[in-house]
Structure 1
Amino acid sequence: MTRTTHTPMLPPGSDLEALGLTLAARPYVRRGVAMRDEPIRVVIVDDHAVVRAGIRALLAGVPDVVVVGEGADGRDAVALVERLGPEVVIMDLEMPGVDGTTATRALHALPVPPKVLVLTMHTEEERLLPLLDAGASGYLAKDAAERDLVDAIRVVASGDVYVRPRVARMLAESVRHGPAPDARRAAFDSLSAREQTVLRLVAEGYNGPEIGQQLGISAKTVDTYKQRVEEKVGLAHRTDYVRFALDIDLIRK
């Protein structure tokens, strides 16, 4: 997990910079990620049948991962997700017709979007940032699939973002933050104590059920608090939560 990579030029104040900082502080990539009690339903989307067969074979002996469908382009990806409801889509980028990036945006807009794990020949520095912005949950080079694919599937299925630790540091090193805006601090202070706690936990990477378990409330109630936070503070995506929390020093760089 130590292949060479280059630091991209990121726009100042990018939410993706904030995401990289959080990933570096609390790495999501880890060997030996625990197995799930229930199988993770996976769809494979790649225009090469031999690649799909190779991925299916790689996952065949994994007890908590089951491949429920295959597609050859982004149009197939959307149709399969709507019909089969998988948790994770393993997505190639370069495909005829609807490509992987376009399909990722379409999947992210669904009422119940799957986690998209991009598996491609391209290096992270070439494509990572726009894909995270489009809604992807992880990025893995095909030459690392045999070693890391199972861990990556488990990570994104759990609600975390998967990138290699070196790439997380690459994003974090590009961050240049100024002082916390007074307006954001005032907006945070206007929230109730429970809303503040939910905001912080989302920014730290916890999903709805995990937050509910910590607070002793249901995941549905967590969603209600998140909706209130988003309406009051003007947040939309988890990267917005991360950026907001970093700006007011709610979580540490």
Structure 2
Amino acid sequence: MTDEIRIVVVDDHSLFRAGVTELLRSVPGFVVEAEGASGTDAIALCRQLHPHVLIMDVEMPGPGAPATVRQVSRDSPTTRIIVLTMHDSSTLVRELIGLGASAYLHKSAGRPELAAAVNSVMRDADQVLVAVSRTSMLGPERSESTPGLVSARELEVLTLLAQGLSNSEIAARLFISDSTVKRHLTNVYAKLGAASRVDAVRRAQAANLFAG
């Protein structure tokens, strides 16, 4: 059918990805063509399939969300990118929209909101849809010089991140789960106003969080 919307879903949390896929497949006219678990998967699948819509998380293995959005936009310019994430940062929203994402949704969004976002970005290529908290979008960005906001555990995660460790390696080092590492990073990104792993380390260094 020519009116079907072909979708690729990429998220490294398999249970969440399965839930999103099941949700999308319950919407008439939506077809989930493929799933992936990393930024590398997102790039490869879009390069191969040229889907109408890519739905992707931010914190995944691979090149990082900004690089992934940039590359997908180059390789498959007709693909509309919807970012679906727990990260509620105006800095990240602006960066990813600027790089080519068509929509940015918080993972608290339900079936109607996600389905509406897919239909919206397909209906108007020039329209940008952002659904995050009002505080995130209207409030001032957090200063880089607020080290007291970062907890001791978050600082441990940041320190290992600065050493180049992956989420799995950090989890093993601290005897916590991968999902707990992701949650700590989500909090750190929000507290520092960071848009990526590299940006978080840079901001932490600027705030002298690693001093001593």
Q: Which moved more, 1:117-126 or 1:128-137?
A: 117-126
Distance 1:113 1:119, change over 3 A: same
Equivalent position of 1:116 in the other structure: 81
- Equivalence map 1:31-180=2 (5 Å): 38-110=3-75, 112-158=77-123, 159=125, 160-164=127-131
Q: CA deviation at 1:63?
A: 0.8
Query: In the superposition, relative to structure 1, how do residues 126 and 62 fare at CA in structure 2: closer, same or farther (>3 Å)?
Result: same
Question: Partner amino acid for 2:102?
Answer: S
Deviation, structure 1 residue 138: 0.5
Structure 2 CA distance for aligned equivalents of residues 111 and 99 of structure 1:
18
Paired residues of 2:51 and 2:79 also in contact (CA < 8 A): yes
Superimposed CA distance per residue, residues 97-149 of structure 1 (whole angstroms, 9 cap, x where no aligned partner): 22222110111112534111000001142421111111111000001133410
- Confirm or deny: 8 A CA contact 2:56 2:81 kept in the other structure: yes
In 2, the alpha carbon distance for the partners of 1:85 and 1:110 equals: 8
Q: Give the alignment's Cα RMSD to 1 decimal.
A: 2.5
**Uncovered stretches (5+) of structure 1, i.e. residues with no partner:** 1-35, 175-253
Mapped partners of 1:95, 1:165: distance in 2: 20
CA distance in 1, matches of 2:89, 2:133: 10
Distance 2:89 2:132 in 1: 12
Counterpart AA for 1:45: V
Q: How many residue pairs end up in the alignment?
A: 136
* Counterpart contact for 1:74–1:97, Cα < 8 Å: yes
The one-letter code matched in structure 1 to 2:51 is P
- For the pair shown, the structure with the greater C-alpha radius of gyration is 1
SS of equivalent to 1:144: coil
Closer, same or farther: CA 126–135 of 1 in aligned 2, 3 Å = same
Higher relative contact order (CA 8 A, sep 6+): 1
| Contact map agreement 1:120 1:142 (CA 8 A) in 2 | yes
Three-state SS of the structure 1 residue aligned to 2:15 is: helix
Distance 1:55 1:111 in 2: 22
Separation (CA, whole Å) in 1 of partners of 2:80 and 2:52:
6
Query: Secondary structure at 1:59's aligned position in 2?
Result: helix
- Segments of structure 2 that go 5 or more residues without pairing to the other structure are 141-212
Which one-letter code corresponds to 1:152 in the other structure?
A
CA distance in 1, matches of 2:31, 2:96: 25
Code of the aligned partner of 1:66:
V
Please, what TM-score do these two structures have when normalized by structure 1? 0.49
In the aligned structure 2, how far is the partner of 1:50 from the partner of 1:85? 25
Give structure 1 regions of 4+ aligned residues with deviation exceeding 4 angstroms.
none
What whole-Å deviation, never above 9, does each CA across 1:9-52 have from its counterpart, x for those lacking one? xxxxxxxxxxxxxxxxxxxxxxxxxxx97011000011111111
Q: Report the Cα offset of residue 92 of structure 1.
A: 0.4
Contact 2:59-2:65 at 8 Å conserved across structures:
yes
Give the match's secondary structure for 1:109: helix
In 2, distance between residues paired with 1:45 and 1:69?
9
Q: Distance in 2 between matches of 1:37 and 1:62?
A: 16
